[in-house]
């Protein structure tokens, strides 16, 4: 398996009733929720490497260190970007960021591990 640094992907969503803080339970305002931003960043990282993985493998997120520095209101388009910056065996480290039409709303580092789907799911009780 040879994953190369520099693999990138962008994932997008629009701020709606489904992903605001009030609905997600992370706050009581009608703004893009931090858990929604984190999930979008994870999706971008997962997708960035998905096609380069061996058959039967996937990645699982294990660490997210991020800031959410600006609110985004209903209707804003949010783009999360992920870039693979380090490969250490099965450990993959990504630089992640999120933007709305006004600029950066969050950024950080995300770690994922490559796992065999069947072995991983066999551990789930």
Q: Which of 9, 13, 68, 110 is catalytic?
A: 68
Instruction: Supply 14's token pair.
Output: 């629009």
3-state SS, residue 37: helix
Active site residue 58: no
Give the pLDDT confidence of 56-94 residue by residue, as tens digits.
999 999 999 999 999 999 999 999 999 999 999 999 999
* Most distant CA atoms of the chain, gap in Å: 45
1 has a pLDDT exceeding 80? no
Residue 42 appears among annotated catalytic residues: yes
- 101 included as an active-site residue: no
pLDDT, tens digit, for every residue of 2-52? 788 999 999 999 999 999 999 999 999 999 999 999 999 999 999 999 999
Contact between 116 and 100 (Cβ < 8 Å) = no
State how far the alpha carbon of 9 is from the alpha carbons of 16, 26, 48, 58, 86, in Å: 22, 26, 5, 16, 15
Query: What pLDDT sits at residue 125?
Result: 86
Does the pLDDT at position 100 exceed 70? yes
Cβ–Cβ < 8 Å for 79, 89: no
């Amino acid at each position: 398996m040879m994953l190369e640094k520099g693999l990138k992907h962008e994932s997008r969503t629009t701020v709606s009733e489904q992903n605001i803080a009030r609905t997600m339970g992370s706050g009581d305002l009608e703004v893009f929720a931090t858990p929604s931003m984190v999930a979008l960043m994870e999706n971008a990282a997962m997708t960035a490497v998905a096609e380069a993985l061996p058959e039967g493998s996937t990645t699982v997120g294990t660490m997210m260190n991020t800031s959410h520095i600006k609110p985004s209101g209903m209707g804003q388009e949010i783009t999360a970007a992920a870039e693979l910056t380090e490969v250490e065996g099965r450990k993959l480290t990504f630089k992640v960021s999120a933007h709305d039409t006004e600029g950066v709303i969050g950024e950080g580092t995300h770690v994922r591990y490559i796992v065999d789907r069947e072995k991983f799911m066999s551990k789930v009780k």
